[in-house]
Amino acid sequence: MAHVIIVRGAASTGRYGQAMAETETDAVSENRMKRKPRAANAPPAAGSGMRVRSAAKNSDIVYRDLHKAIVTMELTPGAPVLERKLTEQYGVSRTPVREAVLRLVEDGLVEVAPKSGTFVARIPLSVVREALVARRALEEVTVRAATELSSESQIMQMRAIIQHQQEMADAGDEEAFHQADDKFHASIAAAARYPGIWKMIQQVRIQVERYRRLTLPQNGRMPMVVKEHTAVLDAMAARDADAAVARMNEHLDKLQLDISIFRDLWPDYFAIDPSLDEKLFAGK
């Protein structure tokens, strides 16, 4: 995972093409001076595919890696994020590293103390509480729409995903189990035709995810999750939206059981939240 050197482009900063612009005659250069500066680029056409083939920037790579490391608790809350170290590990300059860090700040996964240091953000308990509420609300509309819109093939695919999740639970592969979990909820969102809302759910899940990484190993919740997923899917297959919503809510409610316990177990991982008013009006 660590010490991955990015070699896209010229890693060794060779100064080729350094003596080329000097070999021009005055006549030609004068001719070139007559060019008018070109106008600003036109925006891409409206109806066109709006193809933005973004060629995987270095900052994206750093961002994804760090994001994953933080969410999986590989980097624990409070751990320092050293820009210098990252530049060495990835073989890139500070700029893309900095961009990645800034995006993580936007996600609420890291915090920066201006001239002091950057650290993996602690888990604000009130945010976890709210995230659970928000996710419930969003998954509710999603599963309701999916119950109406999902095709039979999509239902079958979900059954396969649940089966796979069962197998991973039996094998005790937590990582694969998580991935299957993610895939199940994603397929619901896909069936509901709510890609944007799924994005929001993911964003919210991230905040809860780190917390869940602590809770899940505790009790043997993995088989229960599979059962709950099955209940949701059964209701969807029966085209009973209300039941599907109810099962989903029951499923999600299982997470918010014992926050205080874990705060006592890993006190350094959680943060006391600032006052509500402050957060509310910090934006403007």
Partner DNA sequence: GAAAATTAACTGGTATACAAGATATATCAG
Partner DNA sequence: CTGATATATCTTGTATACCAGTTAATTTTC
Of the candidates 116, 153, 260, 275, which one interacts with DNA according to CB under 7 A?
116
Q: Number of residues in contact with its own copies, rule: CB under 8 A?
A: 65
The 108-127 site mask, x for binding its own copies (CB under 8 A), equals ---xxxx-xx-x--x---xx
Of the candidates 10, 27, 28, 280, which one interacts with its own copies according to CB under 8 A?
280
81 lines the binding site for DNA (CB under 7 A)? yes
Query: What would the DSSP string read from start to end of the chain?
Result: ---PPP-SS-SS---TT-SSTT---HHHHHHHHTPPPPPPPPPPPSSS---------HHHHHHHHHHHHHHTTSS-TT-B--HHHHHHHHT--HHHHHHHHHHHHHTTSEEEETTTEEEEPPEEHHHHHHHHHHHHHHHHHHHHHHHHH--HHHHHHHHHHHHHHHHHHHHT-HHHHHHHHHHHHHHHHHHHT-HHHHHHHHHHHHHHHHHHHHHTTTTT-HHHHHHHHHHHHHHHHTT-HHHHHHHHHHHHHGGGS-HHHHHHHSGGGEEPPPPHHHHHTS--
Of the candidates 10, 19, 27, 52, which one interacts with its own copies according to CB under 8 A?
52
Smallest distance, Å, CB 69 to DNA? 16
Residue among 18 and 153 whose Cβ is closer to DNA: 18
113 lines the binding site for DNA (CB under 7 A)? yes
Residue among 112 and 200 whose Cβ is closer to DNA: 112
Q: Which residues of this protein are in contact with its own copies, per CB under 8 A? A: 40-41, 43-44, 46-47, 49-50, 52-55, 78-80, 82, 99, 102-103, 106, 111-114, 116-117, 119, 122, 126-127, 130-131, 133-134, 136-138, 140-141, 186, 189-190, 193-200, 202, 204, 267-272, 274, 276-277, 279-281, 283
